[in-house]
Amino acid sequence: MSPIHLAIRASNPSRSLEFYQALGFVKKTEVLLEKFASKLIFLEYKNSGLELELVHNYQNSKPIPPESGFLHIGLEVDNLEQFLEKLSALGINPSAPPSTTPDGMKICFLTDPDGYQIELIGK
The ranges assigned to domains in the chain are: 5-122
Phi-psi category of residue 87: left, alpha or beta, with phi > 0 → left and psi -120 to 50 → alpha: alpha
Task: Answer yes or no: are the C-beta atoms of 64 and 9 closer than 8 Å.
Answer: yes
CA 47/CA 77 separation, integer angstroms: 13
CATH 3.10.180.10 fits 5-122, yes or no: yes
pLDDT digit string, tens, across residues 46-63: 888 889 999 898 887 666
Confidence class of residue 67 from pLDDT cuts 50, 70 and 90?
low
| pLDDT of res. 6 | 87
pTM here?
0.80
DSSP 56-77: EETT--PPPPGGGS--EEEEEE
